Chains A and B, each alone.
Chain A
Amino acid sequence: MAGILIFLAIVTVIVGWYLSRQRLLSKPWLEVGVIDEAYGAGGQPRRHPLDRPARLGLGLFLAVAGSLFTLLISAYLMRRQFPDWQAPPVSSLLWFNTGLLAASSLVLHVTQRLAGRGRWDDAKLGLFMAAALALLFLLGQMLVWRQMTAAGYLAAGNPGNAFLYLIIGLHGLHLGGGMVALGRNALRLWHVEDARRDRVFAGLQLCAVYWHFLLVVWLIMLALLAQWVDDVVAFCGQFLS
């Protein structure tokens, strides 16, 4: 469970940093009057990005999803210490899929920048490409499942196989959810009116952040599956034991 404790430590630092700016040492019983957080020094309303709640919402969701994947990693690291563990071979298709996801993430990043500059036609093309790449990634992951099954690496055969199915599945589900959000943004993009443009831009930005997050998660998971982490874990284990 060391993985999740490290994750929690990071969350604690972020929460602590936020709370340290919230005047937790103040004495509210002595302060009568308006304490203005929403208004700046000149009495002008402080302007915030339109999508401020959505950004925070996404940030929180990333924390929840981060907790989920970290717990999965913790479980993986605990289970692999048992003698029956056999890591399945990593299909070369996984590397190709990783490339697809990275490309999708990159294209989406460019897309939101194009949208920010008002190049809506290019943004449409970018969004289409990013979605297509992500779909190909999901398709590729399913092919990996089928390859594994065909080669006799069944889920019931070994916990190593089972984790591979589970990790690919859960990650794919998260990307699937992201595709729904991307679809909503695509609908908006295609029917964009001048007044709503910054909203579309904001939506695309959030999608891009989510894509980057899923890419990072996937890279960590791949490192686990490819057993690069073994060396790192063994190295860290020396200090812990």
Chain B
Amino acid sequence: MVDVPRGPMPPQIIPDTVPPDYLPPPAEVKDVELYHAHSWITKYVFCQDAKIIALQYAGTALAIGFVALVLSWLMRLQLGFPGVFAFIDVNAYYQFITMHGMVMVIYLITAIFLGGFGNYLIPLMLGARDMAFPYLNMLSYWVYFLAVLVLVSSFFAPGGPTGAGWTLYPPQAILSGTPGGQEWGILLMLISLILFVAGFTMGGLNYVVTVLQGRTRGMTLMRMPLTVWGIFTATVMALLAFPALFVACVMMLFDRLLGTSFFMPGLVEMGQHLKYGGGSPILFQHLFWFFGHPEVYIVALPAFGIVSDLISTHARKNIFGYRMMVWAIIAIGALSFVVWAHHMYVSGMNPAFGFFFAVTTLIIAIPTAIKVYNWVLTLWRGNIHLTIPMLFALGFIVTFVNGGLTGLFLGNVVVDVPLSDTMFVVAHFHMVMGVAPILVIFGAIYHWYPKITGRMMNEAMGQTHFWVTFVGAYLIFFPMHYLGLLGVPRRYYEMGETAFVPPSAHTLNEFITIVALIVGAAQILFVFNLIWSLRNGREAGSNPWHATTLEWQTPETPPGHGNWGKELPVVYRWAYDYSVPGAAEDFIPQNQPPQRAATQASLQPAPGE
């Protein structure tokens, strides 16, 4: 065994008075073992390079996300113009709802944040050549891809996809009254989720090990960009939470295929006593929400991290309260595991639990509010550049505050009980975990596209895309809160002649549908911009945003195999040295040695001289 020194090492900080010729030794002495691709297949298909895997993840996630977008159109068509479209019958409506929700939450947002941005940014931002286990990383993508294929195949299976709602609550999920319940739909959904969890676990182990052990010299945890902190914490949470989904899916498969009664109570269906009996649907809800609530933060934390970096870079100002931001990320991650039953206030669980879970839910607002204040304080007196990534980041802050505030309403048991199962809840979670993270995803794509492709995305198309999406999202979801307060229930195929719903609610529904169609169509412009700019975008250079983090300091753009040429970068400073007084430029890259910055600073007259 090799002897490993124990205990925390005192940091060795080079004093400011280093001799002028001092350069620390390179970060890496021997060459790392990297897998070198030999053929087109191993380079682009079964690829072990995290950057390609990231693009594969993001491409697949966006593609399936567009399917979910079209499903939301179809749902809105039914809600806005009930009965006009004959092919949207009750079953189809529930199938659209289910697939839209599941795809958006898991197969798009989770996959693109962790699999897409995680794979691309973790090695580059930390100065690593690749992930810790590249082969496992490749496997992770292909298992995810298989999960998506299984999910898509359910559209073509007999009986179509499941219509159980994205929460798949038993007993209805596996009964014949629910689309796909006694056919293929629910089976394929459960198998797909099990595959997703397996694939994610492979990727997740990679992200965590790389963050903990793949960092280059000088890159301490407290010098990591907040993007990496967000993705890292979310991954740890996902590794612990996804097993709950796994267990719930396996047990439901048993119930559906073997006739066990884990979750299934005694039932009479069509006058027939079913073979089930004694099971507990609430047990499923506990397992599901033990995964489901951390899942909200699994998509929120990477968004928090990315948005912090976007705001700091595009406001040319160091992030306000970096330490507090890190602590808040960790605190949110920990707290999110003890709030799950706030989704179950009306489920019939022990009412005493409601008090506990309402308290934890409200406590989690504290670290979240700290983050919001810090973003705003970062903007305060910053040199704000209203670039497209910045627009999306600002849009995120507003949207997240909106969605978060309605979350405070719903976190209280007494307010939740009347609002539960109304459109208010739909509006709340779409704002907070639909629109908000997706704005960040767009902002991040506009921000890192120049690094990935070497070209800028088209500005005019980007502006149009932002304004239509941002304003449109508000036109869709603000009125939806109002509908919820009126008492319009969610999940209903059509309202019919309901006494408490005024005719104006129907007009509002038509309006929402029309806006939803427009916002959806604006996303086609985004895809066109992605493709168009590949050839026609302006040349970006290596660091178009003048950012400090390591991914912008690669010797090549787009970064080559192994990321860093011959030697790994050495990190001398934190990630937010923007507008440092006396510095030559308004940013100092993380890998710029102190004496160079000092020399350049000495050439500049100090302010006031």
A interface residue numbers (CB < 8 A to B)? 1, 4-5, 8, 11-12, 15, 19, 21-29, 31-41, 45-50, 52-53, 56-57, 60-61, 63-65, 67-68, 71-72, 75, 78-79, 82-85, 116, 155-156, 159, 162, 165-166, 170
Closest to A83 in B: B278
* B243 engages A64 (CB within 8 Å): yes
Known: A57-B205, A155-B254. Contact between A49 and B2, CB under 8 A?
Answer: yes
Closest to B214 in A: A53
Q: How many residues of B contact A (CB 8 A)?
A: 75
* B240 engages A159 (CB within 8 Å): no
* A32 engages B5 (CB within 8 Å): no
Residues of B within 8 A of A12 (CB): 334
B133 at the interface (CB under 8 A from A): yes
* A78 engages B221 (CB within 8 Å): no
Residues of A within 8 A of B537 (CB): none
B572 at the interface (CB under 8 A from A): yes
Q: CB-defined interface of B254-292 with A at 8 Å, one 1/0 digit per residue? A: 100011111000000000000101111001001100100
Q: How far is the CB of A82 from chain B (nearest CB, A)?
A: 5
Q: CB-defined interface of B390-426 with A at 8 Å, one 1/0 digit per residue? A: 0000000000000000000000000000000000000
B212 at the interface (CB under 8 A from A): yes
Q: How far is the CB of B79 from chain A (nearest CB, A)?
A: 36
* B240 engages A53 (CB within 8 Å): no
- The A-B contact count (CB < 8 A) is 192
Q: Considering the chains assembled together, what is the distance between the CA atoms of A49 and B201 in angstroms?
A: 24
Q: How far is the CB of B132 from chain A (nearest CB, A)?
A: 4
A-B contact pairs, 5 of them (CB 8 A): A31-B11, A34-B571, A37-B11, A46-B9, A61-B205
Residue from the list B239, B279, B283, B286 in contact with A60, Cβ < 8 A:
B239
Q: CB-defined interface of B3-35 with A at 8 Å, one 1/0 digit per residue? A: 111001101111110100000100001000000
Residues of A within 8 A of B3 (CB): 47
Q: How far is the CB of B295 from chain A (nearest CB, A)?
A: 14
Q: How far is the CB of B224 from chain A (nearest CB, A)?
A: 9
Which of B260, B283, B323, B327 has most A Cβ within 10 Å? B260
Q: Considering the chains assembled together, what is the distance between the CA atoms of A69 and B503 in angstroms?
A: 53
* A23 engages B220 (CB within 8 Å): yes
Residues of B within 8 A of A27 (CB): 323
Q: How far is the CB of B20 from chain A (nearest CB, A)?
A: 15
Closest to A38 in B: B217
* A64 engages B278 (CB within 8 Å): no
Closest to A166 in B: B254
Q: Considering the chains assembled together, what is the distance between the CA atoms of A41 and B213 in angstroms?
A: 19
Q: How far is the CB of B97 from chain A (nearest CB, A)?
A: 27
Closest to A49 in B: B2
Known: A47-B2, A84-B278, A155-B258. Contact between A23 and B14, CB under 8 A?
Answer: no
* A8 engages B240 (CB within 8 Å): yes
Closest to B266 in A: A84
Q: How far is the CB of B343 from chain A (nearest CB, A)?
A: 14
Residues of A within 8 A of B221 (CB): 19, 22-24
* B594 engages A32 (CB within 8 Å): yes
